[in-house]
C-alpha cells in the first residue's frame, strides 16, 4: 500500500529539496582550501587576527564550477567592493549605531546590486558589509580599514587563483 502524502507536506518537501547543480569535486576542494590558506598565511605576516577576513572573502569568491568561475569571481569581487564601500560610508556616517548602520547598509547594498544588475552576487556584497561593520567592542579584530584590506586581499587572491586555474585548464585542453 502506497503512503499518501498531503499536498501541504509535498509543497514543503519540494521547497526544501536542493536544486540540481553540478557536484563539487577535488578541483573545488583544492581551490577553496588553497585560497583560504593563502589568504590566512599572507595576513599572518601583517596581523594574526586579520587573516580571517581575507580567508572569508576568498572563500565567498571561489565557485565550485570552474567554467563559470571567472565571470562569477569577477562579479563577486565587484559586489564585495560595493559592499565594502557602502559599509565604510554608512559606518562613518552612523558611527556607534551599529545595528542601524548594518540594516541601512544591507538595504542600500541590495538595492545597488539590483540597480547594477549584480543580483547573482548580492549575497557576497552583504557578507562584505557584515565583515566591515560588525565589530565586537570587547574584542575588536582590527580596524575597519584593515578589515576592508582583508576583504580586498581575499578577493584578489581568489580571482588570481581562478584565472590561474582557468589558464591551466585551457593549456591542458589544448594539449589533448
Element (H, E) at 98: helix 98-115
Among 104, 83, 49, smallest CA distance to 152 is for 83
Three-class DSSP category at 137? coil
What is the full per-residue pLDDT of the chain (176 aa) written as tens digits? 555 656 665 565 555 555 666 666 787 888 888 888 888 787 777 665 666 777 888 887 777 766 656 777 788 889 989 999 999 899 889 877 888 988 999 999 999 999 999 888 898 899 889 888 876 554 444 566 777 877 888 888 888 888 888 787 665 555 55
User: Does the residue 170 lie in any domain?
Assistant: yes
34 domain residue, yes or no: yes
Structural domain contains residue 17: no
Range of the domain at 71: 25-175
Total structural domains within the chain: 1
Among 80, 61, 62, residue whose Cα is nearest residue 24: 62
Instruction: Give a yes or no: residue 15 inside a domain.
Output: no
pTM metric for this prediction: 0.67
Asked if residue 9 belongs to a domain, the reply is no
CB 81 within 8 A of CB 155: yes
Cα-trace Rg, the chain: 19
In a domain, 7, yes or no: no
Amino acid at each position: 500500500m502506497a503512503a499518501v502524502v498531503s499536498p501541504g507536506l509535498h509543497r514543503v518537501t519540494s521547497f526544501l529539496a536542493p536544486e540540481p547543480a553540478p557536484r563539487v569535486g577535488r578541483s573545488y576542494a583544492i581551490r577553496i582550501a588553497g585560497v583560504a590558506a593563502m589568504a590566512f598565511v599572507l595576513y599572518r605576516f601583517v596581523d594574526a587576527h586579520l587573516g580571517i577576513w581575507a580567508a572569508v572573502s576568498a572563500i565567498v569568491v571561489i565557485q565550485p564550477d570552474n567554467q563559470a568561475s571567472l565571470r562569477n569571481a569577477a562579479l563577486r569581487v565587484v559586489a564585495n567592493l560595493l559592499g565594502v564601500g557602502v559599509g565604510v560610508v554608512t559606518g562613518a556616517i552612523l558611527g556607534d549605531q551599529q545595528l542601524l548602520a548594518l540594516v541601512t547598509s544591507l538595504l542600500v547594498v541590495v538595492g545597488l546590486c539590483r540597480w547594477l544588475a549584480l543580483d547573482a552576487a548580492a549575497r557576497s556584497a552583504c557578507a562584505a558589509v557584515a565583515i566591515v561593520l560588525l565589530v565586537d567592542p570587547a574584542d575588536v579584530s582590527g580596524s575597519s580599514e584593515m578589515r576592508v584590506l582583508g576583504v580586498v586581499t581575499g578577493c584578489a587572491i581568489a580571482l588570481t587563483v581562478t584565472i590561474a586555474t582557468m589558464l591551466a585548464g585551457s593549456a591542458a585542453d589544448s594539449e589533448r
